[in-house]
Structure 1
Amino acid sequence: MKRLGVDVGGTFTDLIYVDDESGTVLIHKLASTPDDPSRGTVQGIRELAEQAGVTPGDLDQVFHGTTIATNIVIEHNGARVGMITTQGYRDILHIARHKKPLNFSNYQDLPWQRYPLARRRDRVTVPERITAEGEILVPLDEDAAREQVRKLKEAGVEAVAVCFLFSFLNNAHEARVAEIVREEFPEAFLSVSSEVLPQYREYERFSTVALNAFVGPKVATYVRRLEDELRSMNVRTGVHLMTSASGVSTAQGAVERPVNLLMSGPVAGVVGGIWVGRQAGFDSVITLDVGGTSADIGLAQGGALRMKHLLDTRVGPYQAMIPMVDVDTIGAGGGSIAYVDGGGIFRSGPRSAGAQPGPAAYDRGGTEPTSTDAMVNLGWLLPEDFLGGAMKLKPELSRTAFEPVAEQLGMTVEEASLGAIQIASHSMVQSIEENSVRKGFDPRDFALIAEGGAGPAFAAGIALEVGTPAVIVPPYPGVTAALGLLATDTVYEYVTTTYQRVSQLNAPELEARFAELEDQARKQLEDDGIRADNLVIQRVADCRYLGQGYELRIDVPGGAIDDAWVGKVTADFHDAHEKEYSRRFEESDIEIPNIRVRGIGIMPELKLPELDAGGTTANDALRHEREAWFHVDGELREMRTKFYARDALRAGNKIEGPAVVNQYDSTTIIPPGLTAEVDRYGNIVIWVDQSARERLLGGLSAVASA
């Protein structure tokens, strides 16, 4: 089977090609095209297929991870959304949960109000009402609904969100209004809550459905354009896109529910990192995926993905009540711009030079100092070896960019460059601590997976601070997220609200609701061409103690819902609650507000070829010996450093720091005092011991904060 994964980031578009039969693995990297991301995607597919000696039509699978939906939300440049809702509930999106980011400040922007998903003038109401029991209290006024649709059309909205109270119990009114929208305003993107998210929680449901409408037109245009381009290249399989829940969606599913693509790219990086960790013999991993614009941090204990709690499933300032892998994204990367703020504080990011103009060393018009320029000034990046020699850096431009900052701080250019690196690294350290220590996990029990074009350059320094004993640099770190697309299964998740108490369980009704969701999941997977023997159905229940406001996801058994089923769910929930909150209340009843079904189509296992064995020395891969700057024993020193070619390393090779390993898609930095070893799968494993930690971190904070 010939498979191709493509991950579009803010700076680069990364691709990986795997031929399962021949064992061929090829990677490709090109600058992203922010004006039209599909252009870079299609170009990359053409070029990588040519490199593989196949035509695009020979591809059996194309998987895609993208940040397009996330970027639309963060940049506030989505569609103009009109909302139709129940009379009297026009301002749910404005009021939200009546919480402020700063509790005691009377003067603050509320971001969901400053940048509303649907402006008040575009939020309209119609007479109708469904009760909390799902009964019709006020019949839908169809004439009024038709008039409001016409009003939104005349106003120039591009998308329409339909959200009525208790439609998750009875969708008759929403379904009828959806028909009217399709009759009166067929060109509008339509987002209907009972189709997108048939789940209770008033504000979160409204926000999610409005988000779906906000990103819908641009995402739909992008996905359809990409599908058309692939069809013109005779790609038979179409494209499957990574979702925030770590599964993949068909193009049609992405067009209908684009909100599920939020966090698509970062999630692929976590999946790829878990796969790499297992290969290297580490089940528990922290993934550090650093690109040009941002860094994505994920944690997987025992190789299991963590799902975000409902309170945390936000994108920007907006609530998105969708299943979402726990990934933290911060504005720190190779393109992060270093500067001195108005108060004289040295900072790095979150603003980035991006793909255009890029770091100063790229010679594309960028003049501001970035983390990449800092690495050039420190001698970590060789101008002639960047991107495998495909791009020539200009070190004089990096130095010129940093001179004003160094002068402001009273430092040398090298000191300012190291400071910029350490400030960016500290942001990543803080994020790792928030996702590990503050959630009850000890980083010393995890390996750090270095991903992205810049991850291997930052990872060893970060591991020294957070305490992880090993850093794993995959064979293709710059395209690990793209590799993650090939290492995942096809996954769809369906949810419905059903209020049940364990003590008063209505087993026949619960079984019937699970069966409805399972039928939807099976149908979707069969439509995707998944064979019955590769199809798995999983049940999930959202559980909470009676009286609690929020719930936890619990995997529940299939089959008959009987006393054994109840006992298993009860015990598992008590255990999960204790693990999450350090408390269990076994005398309390348990509520099940929602149930879910995950339909999984098992994909062929991804296997990469093993590396040829070599000796313990890596002399055959040594290409240069040059001076580079490192922080040792409390001071910045210029040290003789060895530079190795990644493609010449062999299994068993050992490298003593200071050293730099160059390859096409990334650069790995091994600080002085650390030792790295190449395993049989080609991973570079950097071991971080306590003595090196004490030597390399001594006095470091003074340089970073000067």
Structure 2
Amino acid sequence: MMLGADVGGTFTDLVLFSDGEIRVGKLPTSEHQEDAISEGIGELASGSIVDVFVHGTTIATNALLERKGARTVLVTDTGFEDIIEIARQDRPALYDPYADRPTPLVARSMRIGIDRESLPTIPDADAIAIALVNGHVDRRRERELASVISAQQPGTPVSLSSVVAGEFREYERISTTVLNAYLTPITANYLKALGERLVETGTVGSIGVMRSSGGLMNVIDASALPAAVLLSGPAGGVIAAAAFAEELGHDRVVSFDMGGTSTDVCRIEDGIIEVSHERSIDGYACRLPSVGVHTVGAGGGSVAWIDPGGALRVGPRSAGANPGPACYGQGATEPTVTDANVVLGRIAADARLGGRLELDLAKAGTAIGLLADELGLSVVDTALGIVQIAEEVMSGAIRTVSVERGSDPRGAHLVAFGGAGGLHATSLARSLGMAGVVIPPFGGVFSAVGLLLAPPRSDAQRSVHVSDEDFGPLDDVADGVGAEIRDALCAA
């Protein structure tokens, strides 16, 4: 018996596979993610033991977006303490003089520069990042520093740049290491609590965690390398879309995952999922492989609002699971994309979302009506405007992963899933001239299906200095990385 659970910003999706039978569940995401997961497993498994539990989690993503990570110390070479602030000296927005980079995750007073002669006192912290400029070359020195610092602060998790992202380019490597350290305590504590609740009680046999690159890792590795699970949830949907497209014989597809909080799109050609080996996550450089998903803040729960210029806008702020859209009847008064779809009759007023959540057409109409009064439009026209604006944002995301990367979306099929994907897929495909739309079975929980299809995976990288005449230790390094990967896969 296998069960996959994908935790989103609004709903938690579960898929159980046992003896050739599939059962699905969808619950509102709880404040503590493990609560909804435990409830869902109880409903689907009916007391039976789940042999393998596979998890797509947003715990690390949420901690970063909400800046709820650990108080972190950065230990680096003297003179490089400010590199996470200086970055590459590029501007976030070329023509916006007010645009700025995000606040560094490590305060200036917590960045410690060292030389080879001495080690200054390291401030007490919840996590420590050790990232030396030549750490990718001399891994031994970082390990020695970690040993000394761990003796001073036993129990404090330490992230080494040579382990997290052992490649050259010091800014990206140091940024990724800081990101990893910042997220380690909250991710490790969550996975420990999940294990205590599921494994130690005998509810499940083992837990696997989806990594951003589209494969599974064990709980121990995920706890030590949370930067590798920042895109855990979206990766599952891409895996499922690729597998389904292959079964249908479609060589070129774009996965379109529209949930309650955001929309994730990814280009898949000839069954090969685009993988990015470096990306910016909420403004922070992360040099770890991840599926080439492009995310926009347009989902079913995206809030419609009027900007200072009097224009109608949609997102990126979302109503989330609580209170959710106005039509959920949980006290919300702001109009959302879901409310617009209910008012327009695109979602039946008597539908039960996830089989349990009743909708309130009157409250959806009231929320849209308040916005309509400000705009001087009818309720229906305002609802149509909300849908059109949301679809334009999502259309832009599809163009980003196709046209802007040299691929023509015409001739490609749109594989639409997620709780709201099917509502908007045909309009988007038509506007972009795509070949067609595919709505897979279990589309509302399709990312959880992808979790069950994902194989174990381990990623490792090293930079090696070579010349035209001398490839130096390239073969030895490759053999070492290969052995590291094999050991990790055997332990997965």
Range class of TM-score, shorter chain: over 0.9
Q: Where does 1:594-673 land on structure 2 (aligned, <5 Å)?
A: none
Aligned AA (1:42): S
Question: Is 1:504 the equivalent of 2:466?
Answer: no
Does the 8 A contact of 1:266 with 1:296 survive in 2?
A: yes
Counterpart Cα distance in 1 of 2:128 and 2:270: 43
The equivalent position to 1:96 in structure 2, one of 74, 78, 87, is 87
| Residue 369 of structure 1, CA deviation | 0.6
Residues 9 and 265 in structure 1, CA contact (< 8 A), matched pair in contact too: yes
Q: Is residue 2:13 matched to residue 1:14?
A: yes
1:363 corresponds to 2:359: no
Matched, 1:316 2:289: no
Q: TM-score, normalised by structure 1?
A: 0.68
CA distance in 1: counterparts of 2:166 and 2:338, whole angstroms: 46
Distance 1:211 1:388, change over 3 A: closer
Selected match of 1:27 from 16, 24, 38:
24
Tell me which residue corresponds to 2:484: 520
3-state DSSP of counterpart to 1:111? coil
Task: State the partner residue of 2:114.
Answer: 126
CA distance in 1, matches of 2:99, 2:73: 23
Residue 701 (structure 1) aligns with? none
Q: 1 CA distance for matches of 2:323 and 2:470?
A: 61
Q: Residue 40 of structure 1 aligns with which residue?
A: 36
> Does 1:250 find its partner at 2:218?
yes
> How many angstroms does 1:96 deviate by?
0.8
Q: Deviations over 1:647-692 (max 9, x none)?
A: xxxxxxxxxxxxxxxxxxxxxxxxxxxxxxxxxxxxxxxxxxxxxx
1:148 aligns with 2:124: no
Cross-structure match for 2:251: 283
C-alpha distance in structure 2 between counterparts of 1:18 and 1:341, whole Å:
47
Aligned to 1:274: 242
What does 1:383-402 align with in structure 2 at a 5 Å threshold? 383-387=349-353, 389-402=355-368
Question: 1:515: how far off?
Answer: 1.0
AA aligned to 1:43 is E
Equivalent residue number for residue 70 of structure 2 = 79
Quick one: which amino acid aligns to residue 100 of structure 2? L
CA shift in 2, pair 1:3/1:344, >3 Å: same
Letter in 1 for 2:443: P
Shift of 1:441: 1.0
Match of 1:535 in 2: none
Contact 1:384 1:391 in 2 (8 A): no
Paired residues for 1:442-453 under 5 Å: 442-453=408-419
By how many angstroms is 1:400 displaced?
0.5
Q: Quick one: which amino acid aligns to residue 313 of structure 2?
A: R
Aligned residue in 2 for 1:593: none
For 1:341 and 1:104, the matched residues in 2 are separated by 20
Aligned AA (2:151): E
1:235–1:200 distance in 2 versus 1, CA, 3 Å: farther
SS of equivalent to 2:37: helix
Alignment of 1:308-457 (within 5 A): 308=276, 310=278, 313-387=279-353, 389-457=355-423
Question: Counterparts of 1:319 and 1:90 in 2: how far apart (Å)?
Answer: 16
Amino acid at match of 1:110: D
Q: Distance in 2 between matches of 1:236 and 1:505?
A: 52
Q: Do the aligned partners of 2:264 and 2:293 also contact (CA within 8 Å) in 1? A: yes
Q: Deviations over 1:541-584 (max 9, x none)?
A: xxxxxxxxxxxxxxxxxxxxxxxxxxxxxxxxxxxxxxxxxxxx
Runs of 4+ in 1 over 6 A off after TM superposition: none
Q: 1:110 aligns with which of 72, 90, 100?
A: 100
Q: Whole-Å Cα distance in 1 between the matches of residues 413 and 396 of structure 2? A: 17
Corresponding position: 1:211 with 2:179: yes
Following superposition, the deviation at residue 253 of structure 1 comes to 0.3
Is 1:227 equivalent to 2:195 in the alignment? yes
What are the Cα deviations for residues 468-517 of structure 1, in whole angstroms up to 9, with x where unaligned? 1211111101111111111111110111111234x43537x322211111
Matches within 5 A, 1:483-494: 483-494=449-460
Whether the 8 Å CA contact 1:242–1:265 is kept in 2: the answer is yes
Aligned partners of 1:104 and 1:289: how far apart in 2? 32
Q: CA deviation at 1:10?
A: 0.1
C-alpha separation in 2, matches of 1:27 and 1:519: 39
The offset of 1:79, in angstroms, is: 1.3
> What is the CA distance between 1:195 and its match in structure 2?
2.1
Partner Cα distance (1:96, 1:457) in 2: 41
- Matched with 1:568 is none
1:662 matched residue in structure 2? none
Counterpart Cα distance in 2 of 1:237 and 1:525: 18
CA distance in 1, matches of 2:204, 2:228: 24
The aligned runs of 1:458-473 (5 Å cut-off) are 458-473=424-439
* Counterpart contact for 2:27–2:354, Cα < 8 Å: no
DSSP 3-state at the match of 1:278: helix
Q: Secondary structure at the match of 1:89?
A: coil
Cα distance per residue 1:288-326 (max 9 Å; x no partner): 10010000011101110111253xx11010000111211
- SS at structure 1 position matched to 2:363: helix
Uncovered stretches (5+) of structure 1, i.e. residues with no partner? 129-139, 529-706
**Partner AA of 2:478 in structure 1:** F
Report how far residue 14 of structure 1 moved: 0.2
Residues 6 and 15 in structure 1, CA contact (< 8 A), matched pair in contact too: yes
Give deviations 1:625-665, integer Å, cap 9, x for gaps: xxxxxxxxxxxxxxxxxxxxxxxxxxxxxxxxxxxxxxxxx
1:238/1:251 contact within 8 Å kept? no
CA distance in 2, matches of 1:94, 1:372: 39
1:109 positional shift: 4.5
Residue-by-residue CA offset, 1:579-607 (whole Å, 9 max, x unaligned): xxxxxxxxxxxxxxxxxxxxxxxxxxxxx
Deviation at 1:390, TM superposition (A): 1.8
- Partners of 2:419 and 2:478 in 1: CA distance: 43
The one-letter code sitting in structure 2 at the alignment partner of 1:422 is Q
Alpha-carbon deviation of 1:236? 5.5
Q: C-alpha distance in 1, partners of 2:121/2:161?
A: 18
- Alignment CA distance shift 1:121-1:46 (3 Å): same
Cα distance in structure 2, aligned partners of 1:63 and 1:210: 27
Specify whether residues 122 and 246 from structure 1 end up closer, same or farther in structure 2 by C-alpha distance, changes over 3 A only.
Answer: same
Code of the aligned partner of 1:212: N
Instruction: Name whichever of 382-391 and 353-362 sits farther off.
Output: 382-391
2:488 maps to a residue whose letter is Q
Match of 1:176 in 2: 144
Q: Within 5 A, what are the aligned runs for 1:284-303?
A: 284-303=252-271
TM superposition shift of 1:173: 2.2
Provide Cα deviations, 1:513-542, integer angstroms capped at 9, x if missing partner. Answer: 1111111111122223xxxxxxxxxxxxxx
In the alignment, the residues of structure 2 paired with residue 192 and residue 506 of structure 1 have an alpha-carbon distance, to the nearest angstrom, of 26
Deviation, 1:104, is 5.5
**Which of residues 145, 169, 188 is equivalent to 1:201?**
169
For 2:479 and 2:411, locate their aligned partners in 1 and report how far apart those are by CA, in whole Å: 40
Structure 2 length as normaliser, TM-score?
Answer: 0.97
Question: Which residue, out of 443, 448, 457, partners 1:482?
Answer: 448
Whole-angstrom distance in 2 between the partners of 1:468 and 1:226: 42
How many equivalent pairs are there?
492
**Which residue number in structure 2 is paired with residue 678 of structure 1?**
none
Q: Specify the SS of the correspondent of 2:416.
A: strand
Task: Tell me: higher relative CO, structure 1 or 2? Use CA pairs within 8 A at least 6 residues apart.
Answer: 2
SS of the aligned residue for 1:355 comes to coil
Partner-residue secondary structure (3-state), 2:60: helix
2:240 partner letter: G
Contact 1:293 1:333 in 2 (8 A): yes
Per the TM alignment, residue 235 of structure 1 is displaced from its structure 2 partner at its CA by 4.5
The CA distance in 2 between the partners of 1:395 and 1:232, in whole Å, is 44
Following superposition, the deviation at residue 388 of structure 1 comes to 5.9
Amino acid at match of 1:345: A
Letter aligned with residue 94 of structure 2: N
Matched AA of 2:254? I
Cα distance, 1:202–1:389 mapped onto 2, change above 3 Å: closer
